[in-house]
């Protein structure tokens, strides 16, 4: 099977589940907005917006990049900082 045929077949399988998950996400965002405006100051809201923007980019490592977006940073010199 050519790669194109395989990817179109994969889309056959994935289209409805992805559509459903995007609708779930839209409904969660709507629900948050309906509850008031306070959330816009919350850094987590900004993180979610960045995450959605990341989804729109190209590449095959979106999951890893999303994971890092939601992660606390790692400092290489942590042992020195703690004198360990």
Among 3, 37, 58, 79, binds other proteins (CB under 8 A): 79
Among 36, 43, 59, 73, binds other proteins (CB under 8 A): 73
> In this structure, what token pair is assigned to residue 67?
């994971």
Which listed range, 20-28, 32-40, 50-58, 70-78, lies at the site for other proteins (CB under 8 A)? 70-78
Closest residue by Cα to residue 21 from 69, 29, 39:
29
As a whole number of angstroms, the distance between CA 38 and CA 60 comes to 35
Site for other proteins in 26-65 (CB under 8 A): 63-64
Please state the closest distance from residue 67 (CB atom) to other proteins, in A: 4
Q: What are phi and psi of 72, to 5 degrees?
A: -70, 145
Per CB under 8 A, 74 contacts other proteins: yes
Residue with tokens 């987590």: 44
Per CB under 8 A, 18 contacts other proteins: no
CB 54 within 8 A of CB 62: yes
């Amino acid at each position: 099977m050519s790669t194109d045929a395989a990817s179109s077949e994969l889309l056959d399988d994935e289209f409805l589940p992805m559509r459903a998950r995007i609708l779930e996400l839209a409904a969660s965002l709507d629900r948050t907005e309906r509850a008031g405006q306070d959330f816009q100051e919350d850094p987590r809201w900004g993180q979610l917006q960045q995450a959605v923007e990341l989804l729109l980019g190209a590449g095959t490592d979106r999951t890893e990049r999303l994971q890092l977006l939601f992660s606390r940073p790692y400092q290489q010199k942590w042992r020195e900082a703690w004198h360990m």
